[in-house]
Amino acid sequence: MNTEHQKLRVAVVGGGIGQHHIEAYQQLGDLCEVLAVCDIDTAKARALAAARSIPRVTGDLGELCRMDDLDVIDICTPPHLHFEHIHQVLDSGKHAICEKPLVGSVREVDELLKIEAASGKRIMPIFQYRFGHGLQKLKFLVDQGLAGSAYLTTVETSWRRRAPYYAVPWRGKWQTELGGVLLSHAIHSHDMLTYILGPISSVFARTITRVNAIEVEDCAAVALEMADGSLATLAATLGSTPEITRHRFCFQNLTAESNTAPYANSGDPWSFTGDTPEQAEQIAAALEQFAPLPEGFAGQFFRFAQALAQGTELPVTLADARTALELITALYHSSRTHQRVQLPINHEHPAYTSWLPTSAAEAQ
């Protein structure tokens, strides 16, 4: 943090989704300023810097790391580069924010936990969907003890991707995208599930590639047992017209249902239906006390700045990324072995060091 004017001085690497990160930092102008943008496509970086009035441009992450006046480097590069880039950023004495999927295995998350602890700096994975007001209201009700036991949750991530999306060379391939609909798209919806309900105890999954001519999966059907004893189902596809995302949480005292806007379903409106008229009144009274904070990327960066200033836990932690990547590991392992897989995933699990397929048969 710059002690002179107390703003976080940020640089963003990768000018794809990174553009939306820059917009979010600039919405939080009292807390953050974007001093530099970096992309190996320097024409893209220059255009972005000009459009968003960012003073510095580089095509080299190493050069960014040598800028002593930066507090944070936000990594929005393709997935297979994340581990190396996070490591480089922490070595340079800066905090790292990094897009999903954070890294390529549970082992790499465990290595980052050690690197973070030794560095004195922080690593924040991106899960911006958490901060939508609808999901935040559910979290608020659960934290107030108004939901009761969870029974069953259904999560649908039904999006559409067509051939042009896969013209970007890193997409659709195991070695560079590291996964398909489960890793790249539904990871947000599944993080929303564990954000509310906590750990998963076992998974049974089937995945297929059926929509596009790609290596990685584009459809998945999953049954989960949660550690709290409830059940959940996950359905994910890139072959749905129209696109929707939907969460439906059935608790003892209330049922919560999201809206179905595909890329904004954690935001309002959600419905919260009490099981009895008295419970409905309690829910309505509690929601009067709900105090909204910023949503989406701005919501995550706002909470990040607060947590750094106050020395508190980050809004998304390496433990959260571990939960997400343990689930990924278990889902792919279950689909390939046709077995139920128990969590947590530790160093003894055969896919601890990588969930990538090890043979042509596994890649199917």
Ligand X SMILES: NC(=O)c1ccc[n+]([C@@H]2O[C@H](COP(=O)([O-])OP(=O)(O)OC[C@H]3O[C@@H](n4cnc5c(N)ncnc54)[C@H](O)[C@@H]3O)[C@@H](O)[C@H]2O)c1
Q: Residue 115 Cβ, how far from ligand X at the closest point, in Å?
A: 19
Q: Cβ contacts of residue 208 below 8 Å, gap of 6+?
A: 217, 218, 219, 220
The verdict on 22 binding ligand X (CB under 6 A) reads no
Question: Within 238-257, which residues bind ligand X (CB under 6 A)?
Answer: none
Which residue from 87, 120, 122, 84 is spatially nearest to 318, judged by alpha carbons?
122
**Are the C-beta atoms of 314 and 304 separated by less than 8 Å?**
yes
One-letter amino acid identity for 114? K
User: Which residue pairs, CB below 8 angstroms and at least 24 apart, start in 40-48?
Assistant: 41/15, 44/15, 45/15, 48/15, 48/18, 48/19, 48/22
Q: Residue 251 Cβ, how far from ligand X at the closest point, in Å?
A: 27
Residue span binding ligand X (CB under 6 A) among the ranges 71-79, 191-199, 210-218, 281-289: 71-79
Query: Measured from the CB atom, is 14 or 349 closer to ligand X?
Result: 14
Q: What angle do CA 77, 80, 86 make, to 5 degrees?
A: 60
Euclidean distance between CA atoms 110 and 346, whole angstroms: 10
Euclidean distance between CA atoms 106 and 316, whole angstroms: 16
- Calculate the CA 87 to chain-centre distance: 19
Q: Residue 337 Cβ, how far from ligand X at the closest point, in Å?
A: 26
List the one residue from 78, 198, 239, 262 that touches ligand X (CB under 6 A). Answer: 78
**Are the C-beta atoms of 75 and 89 separated by less than 8 Å?**
yes
Q: Output the six-digit token pair for 43.
A: 């024409």
The verdict on 125 binding ligand X (CB under 6 A) reads no
List the one residue from 2, 6, 30, 41 that touches ligand X (CB under 6 A). Answer: 41
The residue sitting closest to ligand X, measured at its beta carbon, is 16
Euclidean distance between CA atoms 121 and 104, whole angstroms: 21
The verdict on 220 binding ligand X (CB under 6 A) reads no
The verdict on 17 binding ligand X (CB under 6 A) reads yes
Binding pattern for the stretch 84-123 against ligand X, x by CB under 6 A and - elsewhere: ---------------xx-----------------------
Query: Measured from the CB atom, is 295 or 341 closer to ligand X?
Result: 295
List the one residue from 12, 24, 33, 39 that touches ligand X (CB under 6 A). Answer: 39
The helix (H) or strand (E) run that includes residue 251 is strand 239-251
| Total of residues contacting ligand X (CB under 6 A) | 22
The verdict on 44 binding ligand X (CB under 6 A) reads yes
Query: Measured from the CB atom, is 44 or 246 closer to ligand X?
Result: 44
Query: Residue 237 to residues 185, 207, 219: CA-CA distances in angstroms?
Result: 9, 10, 4
Binding pattern for the stretch 145-184 against ligand X, x by CB under 6 A and - elsewhere: -----------------------x---------------x
Q: Residue 46 Cβ, how far from ligand X at the closest point, in Å?
A: 12
Which of left, alpha, beta for 178 (phi over 0: left; psi -120 to 50: alpha)? left
Residue span binding ligand X (CB under 6 A) among the ranges 14-22, 114-122, 132-140, 193-201: 14-22
List the one residue from 1, 40, 235, 356 that touches ligand X (CB under 6 A). Answer: 40
The verdict on 126 binding ligand X (CB under 6 A) reads yes
Backbone torsions φ then ψ of 347, nearest 5 degrees: -65, -15
By the criterion CB under 6 A, which residues form the site for ligand X? Answer: 13-17, 38-41, 44, 61, 76-79, 81, 99-100, 126, 128, 168, 184
